[in-house]
Structure 1
Amino acid sequence: MAEPLTGGAAAGGAGRTGAAARTSRAARAALRLAGLLARRALLLAVLLAAVFLAVELLPGDAASATSERGESAADLAHRRELLGLDRPVPERFWDWMTGLPTGDLGTSARGESISGLLDRPFPNTLMLGGLALLLTLTVSVALGGWAALRPGGAVDRTVSGAATGVLALPEFIVAVALVLVFAQWLDWLPAVTLTDGDGYPASWRMLVLPVVALAVPQIGWNTRIVRAALADEARAPHVETAVLDGLPRRRVLVHHVLPGAAPAIAAGVATSTGMLLGGAVVVETIFNYPGIGSVLAGAVADRDSPVIAGVVAVTGAVITGVLLLADLVRARESGGSL
């Protein structure tokens, strides 16, 4: 009877060892995730400090930019004192940063809550950028996969060449061309965005041109990334085995090549998030879109560093979240850790 007991004890010990190993791996992954978040939070803090410093270097200040006509020097001095402009920049920046963890973005130079200023425009910008990101991912994967089906063929050369050309186009050039063709010549879509009573675009048709204008350059960028990632994965042994087994090319692409290329594709799309939100400021101005572009333009005119920093903070938080998701996809697909 001793032998079965010994075997059971050994099995139990192996089980406990396996559970301990899994717990240890989970703990290491959690620590690495925390470290990654800390590094990105530090990077965002440095960026916000740079925003405060850059606004300080601009001519004038928030007091003079928001002053009424005919105000005396004493009035301006009093306004500067009320806005805290008589204090050093590091002190003002620290006061603003201490409220950030609680969601307090401060008050603008005109006495408005910055959170209230962004309450409507920022969701509009997120909707615009999110739709552009979805369009970018869908079209890029479709074009990159289509080109990968016939490596070196006419489709591959055409898609790669067009992607390179589109990549070089700035968003405002694409936006102007879209307005000229689809709004002025063909009269299919509106050139400007009108809002409803809630401050949102009054019709889905008003979203089409801004979304396309934002997505086109990123489609060029991501199509090249998808094509290169698929080409690298196609040389993997399991893919070559699937081809030798006579599986159809589309099946090999969808079931064997695309999953392995997902980490590189996710990283490219995540990188595009920052470019889309940055380009949204220009595109919103062209289409009169009710997003953070107008808020940011007004804040720069007012030399209002807390508002500018608030826009950068909420945008940076979104970009950090998307990059973190891309890191998780990369870790999961590669079978490794962050």
Structure 2
Amino acid sequence: MTPAPAGAAAVRAAAPAVRRLAAPALRVAALLGRRLALLTVLLAVVFAAVELLPGDAASATSDRGEGAAGVARRRHLLGLDRPVAERFLDWITALPTGDLGTSARGTPVTGLLSAPFPNTLLLGGTAFVLTVLLSLALGCWAAARPGGTVDRIVDLTSTAAFALPEFVVSIGLLLVFSLGTGWLPAATLTGADGSPSDASMLVMPVLALAVPQTGWNTRVVRAALADQAATPHVEAAVLDGLPAHRVLLHHALPGALPAVATGIATSTGMLLGGAVVVETLFNYPGVGTVLAGAVADRDTPVIAGVVACAAAVITVVLFLADLVRARTLGARP
């Protein structure tokens, strides 16, 4: 028998290592592909939903007294006489280049969102960071003494906070900190660049968004830590006499990360969705006003552009949560 060449033997020897390296990459690609597919379906649903609304962009943006011939001409210029599937295909194929289309009033959607969307990201991102920090701190504090006074108080307050809609929290904050004490401004004033002119104008909108989601995520953290407390490795750490804070932070919390990451990632959509309501109440210069005008105009590219930007942020956060879950679960014995 002819011996195998040395090169072939080296390839066979390296094959297991290559497969071990390729497997995580394939899992990441599969996760990303699933998220992108969901995003595409969501945007298609947005196009179809706007199409089902009464009227269209041509009639909604027509000049007063414009006749049927003028509206028909405008409809043709906007491409509304084409099938919605064809318009959606043209729009989504241009999306990877950063082209969000043109609004019914002739303004590029990218330029229309260039100022308000970063403001919304600032608002939602600050509320997101505050939510993560508070929910982890409160959940761990309650889990440190299960069944104790702190645990019961945190459980009660987190349930009450989660039950409050953003507009109720907003009104309460306005009554207390603006009308009652005058500590914070009731409305947001914008600077020359279109962003809030003072950081104090962010305080109440951020709190209005963060309070309900902190309530929800505190309960998620507390429940995940309670589940981990019953696992063998945590019980073994307790029996070994390790300090309670070490058991909590080094043994229970890492195992709770998949559930915590999923809960926090889910809150991203709630924060960005609630931002539309909060922006209106505080006169905040975000996408809420743009979206309200686009719905009134039946302006599909603007609506889809807002949804695409928000959904891209949510998709990234959900994808990171998927990676945390995959890494944590894959690392378990």
Q: TM-score, normalised by structure 1?
A: 0.92
Instruction: Specify the alignment match of 1:52 in structure 2.
Output: 47
- Once the 2 structures are TM-superposed, how far is the Cα of residue 296 of structure 1 from its aligned partner? 0.6
Shift of 1:15: 12
Aligned residues: 325
Q: Deviations over 1:147-201 (max 9, x none)?
A: 1011111211121122112111111111111111111111111111111100111
Identical-residue share of aligned pairs (%):
69
> What is the identity, as a one-letter code, of the residue corresponding to 1:249?
A
Alignment match, 1:239 = 234
Q: 1:192 to 1:22 in 2, by over 3 A?
A: farther
Amino acid at match of 2:288: G
> Which residue does 1:147 correspond to in 2?
142
2:117 aligned with 1:97: no
Q: CA deviation at 1:325?
A: 0.8
CA distance in 2, matches of 1:286, 1:110: 26
Deviations 1:232-279 (A, max 9, x none): 112222322222222221222122221221221111111111111111
Measured in 1, the distance between the counterparts of 2:220 and 2:322 equals 16
SS in 1 for 2:261: helix
1:276: which partner in 2?
A: 271
How does 1:169-318 map onto structure 2 within 5 Å? Answer: 169-318=164-313
Distance apart, 1:37 and its partner CA: 1.9
Q: 8 Å contact 2:187–2:283 — kept in the other structure?
A: yes
Structure 2 residue aligned with 1:5: none
SS in 1 for 2:192: coil
Contact 2:31 2:322 in 1 (8 A): no
User: Which position in structure 2 is the counterpart of 1:4?
Assistant: none
**One-letter code aligned to 1:290:** P
Residue 125 of structure 1: aligned partner: 120
Matched AA of 2:148: G
Q: Which runs of 4+ in 1 moved over 6 A?
A: 13-16
Structure 1: how far apart are the matches of 2:113 and 2:233?
50
Structure 2: distance between partners of 1:288 and 1:270: 27
- Higher deviation after alignment, 106-115 or 246-255: 246-255
**Structure 2, gaps ≥5 residues long:** 1-5
Shift of 1:336: 4.7
Alpha-carbon distance in structure 2 between the residues aligned to 1:239 and 1:305: 53
Q: Say yes or no: does 1:116 pair with 2:111.
A: yes
> SS at the partner of 1:36?
helix
Output the CA distance in 2 between the equivalents of 1:151 and 1:72: 71
SS of match in other structure, 1:194: coil
Distance 1:92 1:247 in 2: 63
Instruction: Give me the CA root mean square deviation.
Output: 1.9
Contact preservation (8 Å) 2:142, 2:150: yes
**Residues 116 and 150 of structure 1: is their aligned pair in 2 closer, same or farther, counting only changes over 3 Å?**
same
Matching residue of 2:36: 41
| Separation of aligned partners in 2, 1:55 and 1:221 | 32
- Equivalent position of 2:3 in the other structure: none
Give the TM-score of the pair, scaled to structure 2. 0.93
Structure 1 counterpart of 2:124, which letter? G
Deviations 1:69-118 (A, max 9, x none): 22222211111111011112111111111211211110000000000011
1:323 offset after TM fit, Å? 0.8
1: CA distance, partners of 2:28 / 2:74: 45
AA aligned to 1:102 is: T
What secondary structure does 1:30 align onto? helix
Cα deviation for residue 16 of structure 1 reads: 7.7
Query: Can you list the C-alpha shifts for 1:305-332, whole angstroms capped at 9, x where unaligned?
Result: 1110111111111111111111111222
Unaligned runs of 5+ in 1: 1-8
Match of 1:85 in 2: 80
